[in-house]
């Protein structure tokens, strides 16, 4: 394969549906744009929530926009252990049967019944880049991250191909730290 692409770490964050945004920030509230993300139309907002689990909490969890169909909290395994949530590793959007937590915003709080996941590592591709890389939507690949101290190979990376994707790999902070990744890191599809 040998196709090279950018890889970025995804810190803990939350996507809210309309109903939960209203509960936490007030009826009809609109997210405030802070910074564009690489994926088209997605952005980091100024808004943050507190997440409370059975053993602890995190303040200042960034809300990503736009509003989604289902609320989804994405944590790394280390985060989950810290606050006592046994979240499964799942592809984004697959929140059925996952644990929940308490969410606190400036205008309200709520019990999230389900939606806490550890995001499965994945590679976004535009259709053109997918053809060049020789991958298809849903295909599982292996990537190699070269760093000075810790060259790392990750298996089980799911490819997502869509007209609405910018080409890049996402791993969580545990995976990025294990590979000693810095900003602007490039990885290679090796299998």
pLDDT at position 191, please?
86
- Tell me the average pLDDT across 77-101: 96
Q: H or E element: which one contains 144? A: strand 140-145
Reported pTM: 0.93
pLDDT at position 121, please?
96
Q: Which long-range contacts (CB under 8 A, 24 or more apart) does 26-31 make?
A: 26/106, 26/107, 26/108, 29/107, 31/63, 31/65, 31/66, 31/67
Residues β-bridged to residue 27:
none
- Tell me the average pLDDT across 47-72: 98
Is residue 168 a contact partner of residue 8, using CB atoms and an 8 Å limit?
yes
Mean residue pLDDT of the chain comes to 95
Surface-to-core class of residue 28, CB atoms within 10 Å of its CB (0-12 exposed, 13-18 middle, 19+ buried): exposed
Lowest average pLDDT, out of 1-15, 74-88, 118-132, goes to: 1-15
Q: Is the pLDDT of residue 82 over 90?
A: yes
pLDDT at position 2, please?
87
Confidence of residue 45 (pLDDT cuts 50, 70, 90): very high
**Which positions ≥6 away from 153 have C-beta within 8 Å?**
142, 143, 144, 145, 190
pLDDT at position 37, please?
95
| CA distances for 35 relative to 45, 60, 110, 170, angstroms | 7, 16, 27, 18
Q: Is the pLDDT of residue 1 over 70?
A: no
- Helix (H/G/I), strand (E/B), else coil: 127: helix
Q: List, for residues 122-178, the tens digit of each pLDDT value.
A: 999 999 999 999 999 999 999 999 877 889 999 999 999 999 999 999 999 999 999
**Portion of the chain with pLDDT greater than 90, in percent:** 93
């Amino acid at each position: 394969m040998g196709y090279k692409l950018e890889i970025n770490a995804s810190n803990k964050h939350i996507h809210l549906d309309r109903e939960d945004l209203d509960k936490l920030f007030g009826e009809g509230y609109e997210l405030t744009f802070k910074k564009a993300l690489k994926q088209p139309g997605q952005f980091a907002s100024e808004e943050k929530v507190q997440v409370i689990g059975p053993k602890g909490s995190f303040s200042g969890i960034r809300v990503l926009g736009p509003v989604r169909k289902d609320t989804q909290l994405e944590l790394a395994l280390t985060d989950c252990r810290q606050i006592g949530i046994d979240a499964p590793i799942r592809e984004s959007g697959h929140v059925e049967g996952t644990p929940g937590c308490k969410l606190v915003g400036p205008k309200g709080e709520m019990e999230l019944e389900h939606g806490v996941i550890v995001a499965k590592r994945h590679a976004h591709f535009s259709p053109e880049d997918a053809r060049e890389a020789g991958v298809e939507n849903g295909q599982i690949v292996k990537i190699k991250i070269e760093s000075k101290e810790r060259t790392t190979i990750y298996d089980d990376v799911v490819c997502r191909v869509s007209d609405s994707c910018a080409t890049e790999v996402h791993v969580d902070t545990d995976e990025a730290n294990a590979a000693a990744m810095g900003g602007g890191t490039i990885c290679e599809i090796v299998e």
